[in-house]
Amino acid sequence: MSAIPRFVSVSLAATAAIGLILPIGLAPAANALPCSAPEANVPPPANAVVTNPGGKVLGPLNKRPRGANDRAPLPRIGPLQRVLQPGQRYSAPMQQQARVPGANPNPAPPAPAPPAAQQPPAGQLTPEAAAAPAPNPVPEAAPPPDAPDAGGALGGSNTSLVEWVTGPDGPNKTLERFGISGTDLGILWDNGDPTNHQVLMAFGDTFGYCAVHGDQWRYNVLFRSNDRDLSHGLHVANGDPANRFAGSPTQQPGFSRQVINSIKYANEETGIIPTAAISVGKTQYINFMSIKEWGRDGEWWTNYSGIAMSTDNGQTWAVYPGTIRANGPDAARVPYVPGNENFQMGAYVKGGDGYLYSFGTPNGRGGAAHLSRVQPRFIPDLTKYEYWNADSNSWVPNKPSAATEVIPGPVAEMSAQYNTYLKQYLVMYTNGANDVVARTAPTPQGPYSPEHLLVSSFSMPGGVYAPMMHPWTTGKDVYFNLSLWSAYDVMLMHTTLG
Residue 283 belongs to some domain of the structure? yes
Residue 272 has pLDDT above 80, yes or no: yes
In a 3-state reduction of DSSP, which class is residue 472? coil
Q: Which domain holds residue 29?
A: 20-90+141-496
Closest CA to 162 of 229, 210, 89, 232: 232
41 lies in a domain?
A: yes
* DSSP state letters, 140-198: -SS--TTSPPHHHHHHT-EEEEEEESSSTTSTT-HHHHHS-SB--EEEEEE---TTS--
Cα torsion angle, 172, 176, 177, 181, sign: positive
Residue 1 lies inside a defined structural domain of this protein: no
- Is residue 124 in a domain? no
Q: For position 88, what pLDDT does the model report?
A: 39
DSSP state of 339: T
What single-letter DSSP state applies at residue 39? G
Please tell me the predicted confidence (pLDDT) of residue 40.
86
Report the pLDDT value the prediction gives residue 136, as an integer from 0 to 100. Answer: 41
**Total structural domains in the chain?**
1
d(CA 209, CA 305): 30
Q: Is residue 405 part of a domain?
A: yes
Q: What is the DSSP letter of 419?
A: E
Q: Which has more pLDDT, 254 or 113?
A: 254
| pLDDT value for 148 | 87
Closest CA to 275 of 448, 451, 465: 465
Is residue 103 included in any domain, yes or no? no
Confidence band, pLDDT 50/70/90 cuts, at residue 134? very low
Find the range with the poorest average confidence among 45-59, 400-414, 418-432. 45-59
CA–CA gap between residue 278 and residue 283 (Å, rounded):
9
Query: Lowest mean pLDDT: which of 8-12, 202-206, 270-274, 410-414?
Result: 8-12
Instruction: Kindly indicate the confidence band of residue 87, based on its pLDDT and cuts at 50, 70 and 90.
Output: very low
The residue that leads in pLDDT, 128 or 282, is: 282
Residue 134 falls inside a structural domain? no
Residues 6+ apart with CB under 8 A from 348: 123, 189, 276, 277, 278, 287, 356, 357, 358, 359, 416
Report pLDDT digits (tens) over 318-337.
999 999 999 999 999 999 99
Handedness of CA 55, 60, 63, 65 (dihedral sign): negative
- pLDDT above 60: residue 82: yes
What mean pLDDT is reported for the chain? 84
Confidence at residue 61, expressed as pLDDT on a 0 to 100 scale: 59
Mean pLDDT of 353-361: 98
Q: What is the pLDDT of residue 1?
A: 34
pLDDT at residue 355 tops 90 = yes
Q: How far apart are CA 36 and CA 343, in angstroms?
A: 36
Is the model's pLDDT at 20 over the cut of 90? no
Per the domain annotation, does 100 fall within a domain?
no
CATH number at residue 193: 2.120.10
Length, in residues, of the chain = 498
Burial label for 114, CB within 10 Å (0-12, 13-18, 19+), is middle
